[in-house]
């Protein structure tokens, strides 16, 4: 299958959750919008007046299928890449976890843009500080604790795309909230262990060392603003 991934160039964003699955499996794919002509194609695919046009990237072209929504793309790719069970209960279970990760990701984003994505960070800094304090104190440990518990209950489960996404969540959270994460990681050792296990996978190690892995930056979903990672 010739997979074509469509996602904004210059950031990891939600595209990264799909990229990690493709890279881990060693599947060849094209990151279409990283070329100027591919970028224009991505925009035109969203603008066309077709009922099945995607609302937003990432989306994946797989033969005649055009699949949008990160969790939906992984639901499709999982069994094909050997990163999900083939049984319906197993697939639904993973999909449920992936959708919970999607919720978590939105909250991590909304810390720096609590009023809305169309306002600059500087225009919503005060609200962002309040939101960040609540995120660090309540929401972050709640999500971490939930997934720590999941990993603890099923230590010998087959490796899957949720493990890759949890790796990415830790990567992003460590970048955005280094102080908070330093504290929390001590209590969430299964998540740290999962992160290290993913790092050691050959496909992922090769990907992270390549120029295909874009560095985190302040255009991305995870952003580091020191004032959002401090008690004061």
- The reply to whether 12 sits near ligand GSH by the rule CB under 6 A is no
The least distance separating ligand GSH from the CB of residue 42, rounded to whole angstroms, comes to 10
Contacts (Cβ under 8 Å, ≥6 apart) of 153: none
Q: Which residue has the tokens 């919970």?
A: 100
The two three-digit tokens of residue 129, written as one number: 């500080």
The least distance separating ligand GSH from the CB of residue 10, rounded to whole angstroms, comes to 12
- Which among 63, 77, 61 has a CA at the least distance from the CA of 17? 77
CA 56 to chain centre: 15
The least distance separating ligand GSH from the CB of residue 56, rounded to whole angstroms, comes to 4
Looking at the Cβ atoms of 73 and 83, the one nearer to ligand GSH is: 73
The least distance separating ligand GSH from the CB of residue 16, rounded to whole angstroms, comes to 10
The two three-digit tokens of residue 153, written as one number: 């209950």
* Largest interatomic CA distance in the chain: 53
Cβ–Cβ < 8 Å for 80, 67: no
Residues between 67 and 106 with contacts to ligand GSH, criterion CB under 6 A: 69-70, 102
Q: How many binding residues for ligand GSH (CB under 6 A)?
A: 8
Region of 52-60, 128-136, 182-190, 193-201 interacting with ligand GSH (CB under 6 A)? 52-60
Enumerate binding residues for ligand GSH (CB under 6 A): 13-14, 56-58, 69-70, 102
């Amino acid at each position: 299958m010739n997979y074509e991934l469509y996602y904004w160039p210059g950031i990891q964003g939600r595209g990264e959750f799909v990229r990690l699955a493709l890279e881990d499996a060693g599947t060849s794919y094209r990151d279409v919008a990283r070329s100027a002509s591919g970028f224009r194609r991505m925009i035109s695919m969203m603008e066309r007046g077709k009922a099945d046009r995607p609302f937003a990237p990432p989306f994946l072209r797989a033969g005649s299928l055009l699949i949008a929504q990160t969790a939906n793309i992984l639901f499709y790719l999982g069994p094909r890449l050997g990163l999900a069970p083939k049984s319906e209960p197993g697939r639904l279970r993973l999909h449920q976890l992936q959708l919970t990760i999607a919720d978590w990701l939105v909250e991590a984003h909304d810390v720096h843009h609590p009023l809305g994505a169309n306002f600059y960070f500087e225009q919503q800094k005060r609200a962002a500080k309040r939101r960040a304090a609540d995120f660090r104190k309540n929401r972050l440990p709640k999500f971490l604790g939930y997934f720590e518990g999941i990993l603890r209950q099923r230590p010998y489960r087959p490796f899957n795309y949720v493990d890759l996404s949890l790796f990415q969540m830790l990567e992003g959270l460590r970048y955005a909230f280094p102080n908070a994460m330093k504290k929390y990681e001590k209590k969430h050792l299964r998540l740290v262990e999962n992160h290290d296990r993913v790092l050691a996978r050959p496909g992922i190690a090769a990907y992270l060392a390549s120029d295909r892995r874009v560095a985190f930056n302040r255009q991305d979903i995870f952003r580091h603003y020191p004032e959002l990672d401090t008690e004061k």
